[in-house]
Amino acid sequence: MTSRTNGEDRKPRLRADAARNRAQILAAARTAFRELGTAAPLDEIARRAGVNIATLYRRFPDREALVQQVVIDGFTLVIEAARHALDAAPQDSLAAIEGFLLRLVDARDILVLPLIGGPVPTTREAVELQAQTALLLEQLMSRARSQGTIRPDATHMDLITTAALTCRPMPYLPTEQAATLATRHVHIFMDGLRPNGTRPLPPSPTHEELSVHLHAGPAES
């Protein structure tokens, strides 16, 4: 091998190392945020990721950058699941909605920060992803309503609420049993979502109404 070949080999390896470090830092951040809140010490996150604190700062200049990336990763996963459900909806929209919820329950370790109840997205990218999520989920629910597979008064707000509630960590339960309880909850919720002629739901706040408050900081305290 010539030194030129070595040099060409090294660059992809460095990029691969950097990508692995980044992924390890994000995984450690999600665990630490879940256990200790978003105020978790950055050196604790670096320690859990097995990287130097300087490496952490090279990837994420401050806590906010790390928090926002975790938010973005969460929304990206939700959007993928929503697109998948929309593709499946023409055949069976009720199964598509349930599949969406169960897919999120399965991947809930990634969903530490997004959705209602998590910290507020503040970057332009996160806010756009949030709006896109709401749009895709309303398309999904709207298709199900027009197919008559769900009650006419259920909206994407109910889907977001349910995803947020069932995906929040239950840190004191073993993963498998927590997933079983969440799955039972999703099944019962799905049966309640059918158009079964019971009383109408109380009116839902709109996504826009909530977004105003979401960007104004914590309100319930």
Residues that bind its own copies (CB under 8 A): 31, 34-37, 39, 116-120, 151, 154, 157-158, 161-162, 164-166, 168-175, 177-178, 180-185, 187-194, 196, 198-199, 201-205, 209-210, 213-214, 217-221
Nearest-approach distance from CB 106 to its own copies, in angstroms = 13
- Residue where the block lists tokens 């109840």: 117
Closest to its own copies by CB, 135 or 165: 165
Nearest-approach distance from CB 53 to its own copies, in angstroms = 21
Closest to its own copies by CB, 3 or 91: 91
Nearest-approach distance from CB 76 to its own copies, in angstroms = 20
Closest to its own copies by CB, 138 or 158: 158
Tokens linked to 120: 């507020």
Report the helix count and the strand count for the chain, using DSSP H and E: 9, 0
Nearest-approach distance from CB 19 to its own copies, in angstroms = 24
Closest to its own copies by CB, 14 or 36: 36
Helix (H/G/I), strand (E/B), else coil: 165:
helix
Between vectors from CA 119 to CA 115 and to CA 120, what angle results, nearest 5°? Answer: 80
d(CA 105, CA 99): 10
CA dihedral for 213, 217, 219, 220, sign (positive or negative): positive
The CA-atom distances, in angstroms, between 112 and each of 66, 80, 91, 213 are 13, 16, 31, 20
Closest to its own copies by CB, 142 or 204: 204
Nearest-approach distance from CB 46 to its own copies, in angstroms = 17
Q: Are 41 and 29 in contact (CB under 8 A)?
A: no
Nearest-approach distance from CB 203 to its own copies, in angstroms = 8
Closest-CA residue to 94 (of 179, 195, 199) = 195
- Residue where the block lists tokens 């990206």: 76
Closest-CA residue to 98 (of 108, 80, 84) = 84
Closest to its own copies by CB, 62 or 109: 109
